Amino acid sequence: MAVKQISVFLENKQGRLIAVTECLAKHQINIHALSAADTADFGILRLIVDQPDTALRVLREHDFTVLETEVLVVRVEDRPGGLNDILKILISANINVDYIYAFYNMDQATALNIIKVDNMAAATAALTDAGISLLEDKDFDRV
């Protein structure tokens, strides 16, 4: 159960981020979650959107360098140790976490953690076998 994530590679200069958000807004693409990381010269904007295929196409049409990646979206209880429990499952299955970012759902008092791992199939199996809820693209309409 993977979710499509769009990664946009941006020059680290004024106006590049808003160029992406304006492009998405113009095409009625909603951003559900995002993470931005930078270095001195460039940044990576990671997005979970409601129309990943359309976002990929229109961003490419507007000359952005983009990549689609599959990630896991894990619903985690809002309590001390909630994320730690997830990470213990992954490490026990010998799965490496490449990166992670999260957002909080106040209505459901849970965190949604977006996790990129080195073995999607093994991570999915380990988490679902442990009874952990994984979201799919279509689930974001109900988050």
Q: What is the pLDDT of residues 79-115, one digit of tens each?
A: 899 999 999 999 999 999 999 999 887 777 788 899 9
Report how far apart the first and last C-alpha atoms of the chain are (Å, whole number): 16
**Cα atoms found within 13 Å of the Cα of residue 28, Cβ hemisphere only:** 0
Asked if residues 31 and 49 have their Cβ atoms less than 8 Å apart, the reply is yes
How far is it, in rounded angstroms, from Cα 81 to Cα 89?
13
* pLDDT confidence bin for 141, thresholds 50/70/90: low
Same topology for domains 3-70 and 71-142, yes or no? Answer: no
Q: What is the pLDDT of residue 72?
A: 96
What is the per-residue pLDDT across 16-61, written as a single tens digit (0 to 9) for each? 899 999 999 999 999 999 999 887 778 999 999 999 999 999 999 9
CATH superfamily of 3-70: VC0802-like (3.30.2130.10)
Any idea where the domains of the chain sit in the sequence? 3-70, 71-142
Q: Which residue has the tokens 């209505």?
A: 107
Q: What is the pLDDT of residue 24?
A: 97
Query: Residue 80: CB partners within 8 Å, gap ≥ 6?
Result: none
CATH class of 71-142: alpha beta
What pLDDT score was predicted for residue 81?
Answer: 93
